Amino acid sequence: MFEDSNMCLFCNASGKDVQLYKVYQWDKPDRYSWYCKDHYRQVEKHHDEQARAFVKGFESEQARAYLSPKQLELWEKMKKKYDY
Ligand SMILES: [Zn+2]
Question: What is the pLDDT, as a whole number, of residue 29?
Answer: 82
What's residue 1's pLDDT? 43
> How far, in Å, is the centroid of ligand 1 from the Cα of 77?
29
Q: Which residues line ion ligand 1, judged by CB < 5 Å?
A: 8, 10-11, 13, 36, 39
Ligand 1 centroid, distance to 42 Cα (angstroms): 9
The pLDDT tens digits of the residues spanning 33-79 come to: 999 999 999 999 999 999 999 999 999 999 999 999 999 999 999 99
Question: In this structure, is the dihedral angle defined by the CA atoms of residues 34, 27, 78 and 53, taken in order, positive or negative?
Answer: positive
